[in-house]
Amino acid sequence: MLEYRKGNFLILSDFEIRLFVEEGPDIDLIVPLENRTLNLYIEGMPNYIDGRLQLLEVRNILIRFSVQENNKLCTVHFLRNIDLKSAIMNFVFSYENHYILIKNNEYNVEMAVIKK
């Protein structure tokens, strides 16, 4: 498993984590998934959601985060290709007390946002 750590930001991944853009305090990372089905698990989701959200044919995950001291937000974009306009879905979360786990399974990819 690969680890990417910058300050309080942490990703553990079975897939390559590529630095895409580092501009000022913002960093963009790309995680290529090769058009896989992705099951997204977010700790603390309401009980009326059955555990996961599923996205089909995800080619890349783009993760943008800030290293500014007062900004611990991270935006996760699920892309059909490398273009940000191809996003299937995105969400924002605070990485101050959470990390990202990306796991390669035989038939899908699991991504979880987990409390540290």
51-67 pLDDT tens trace? 899 999 999 999 999 98
CA 78 – CA 74 distance, rounded (Å): 13
Rounded-to-integer distance, Cα 66 and Cα 96, Å: 11
> What values do phi and psi take at 16, rounded to 5?
-60, 140
List pLDDT tens digits, range 66-76: 988 899 999 99
Could you give the C-alpha distances from 57 to 35, 60, 68, 112, in angstroms and in order? 4, 9, 33, 18
Mean pLDDT is lowest, of 2-6, 47-51, 65-69, 109-113, for: 47-51
Mean pLDDT of 42-48: 87
Q: Determine the pLDDT at residue 50.
A: 85
Long-range contacts of 86-89 (CB under 8 A, 24+ apart): 86/59, 87/62, 88/55, 88/58, 89/53, 89/55
Say how far apart CA 64 and CA 115 lie, in whole Å: 19
pTM of structure: 0.93
